[in-house]
Amino acid sequence: MKDPHDIIVRPILTEKAYDGIADKRYIFEVPVTATKTEIRLAVEAVFAADGVKVARVNTVRTLGKIKRQGLHSGRTPEVKKAYVTLTKDSKPIKFFEGMGQ
């Protein structure tokens, strides 16, 4: 099994992400190859001290934008985001406390 810290690359902190914190919905950037089951186990393992239980995981893959520099063109890296919803009886993640208010 992969290390849980390798699966959760970083949290996504945007206005949309802040709106979901009150509903116990958090957004993380994950590797493109990560599955929903791996993401669920990684979130529960990393935030086990907070008493986190995952109810649902939704994922979105976004293709990289085309960028040009002179005659050469290429793409920015592809990104996969995981929308993690916690159960109602789960405690919120302490890292995000105070951010969504």
Question: Domain extents for the chain?
Answer: 4-90
3-class SS of residue 77? coil
pLDDT, residue 95, reads 85
| pLDDT computed for residue 96 by the predictor | 82
- Note the residue count of the chain: 101
b/e per residue 3-29 (b: at least 16 CB within 10 A)? ebeebbbeeeeeeebeebbeebbbbbe
Mean pLDDT per block of 10 residues along the chain (101 residues) reads: 88 92 94 95 91 95 95 96 94 80 59
The CATH-assigned architecture of domain 4-90 is 2-Layer Sandwich (3.30)
What is the pLDDT at residue 2?
81
* Residue 11: closest CA among 35, 31, 29: 29
